[in-house]
Amino acid sequence: MKKGVVVILVLCIQTAIAQTPKLLDGKGVYTQYCLPCHQEDGTGVPNLNPPLRKSDWVNGDKNRLIKVILEGLEEEIEVNGESYNRVMAAHNFLTDKQVADVLTYIRSNFENTSDAIKEEEVKSLRKKKP
């Protein structure tokens, strides 16, 4: 009888592990959530979605960049001399680590060479939100 209980427990645990969604790394998050708009090479879509390649937003102020992901962006902006006035939804469903990882990914790819963003930096900005 005891043996049967153990077998059932093991089966339950195995199923739970198999169903846990794999946490995506920076590139994985990018591919799943950002690539459709900003494109595989970060060049965006002219007049529609701004480029991440050589963008001041990506390589400049970290807090401003983190807020784009946590809060979205809906204002007239200029990227590489082109203006955009469209809407990007907040991606605040991502974990602090995923936000840090995806931003670190875009800051070190697409010809960008900026330093990493840390999970703690995302965490402190998210907390400040009312």
Give me the phi and psi of 82, to 5 degrees please: -110, 140
Question: Given candidates 6, 17, 22, 75, which one binds ligand HEC under the rule CB under 6 A?
Answer: 75
Least distance (Å) between residue 49 CB and ligand HEC = 4
Distance CA 10, CA 32 (A): 32
Least distance (Å) between residue 19 CB and ligand HEC = 24
Distance CA 28, CA 39 (A): 14
- Nearest CB to ligand HEC, comparing residues 102 and 125: 102
Distance CA 117, CA 79 (A): 21
Per DSSP, the three-state class of 114 is coil
- Nearest CB to ligand HEC, comparing residues 7 and 60: 60
Does 50 bind ligand HEC (CB under 6 A)? Our answer is yes
Structure letter (DSSP) for residue 111 = T
Least distance (Å) between residue 41 CB and ligand HEC = 13
Helix (H) or strand (E) holding 16: helix 2-19
Q: Which residues bind ligand HEC (CB under 6 A)?
A: 33-34, 36-38, 49-52, 55, 57-58, 65, 68-69, 73-75, 77, 79, 84-86, 88, 91, 102, 106
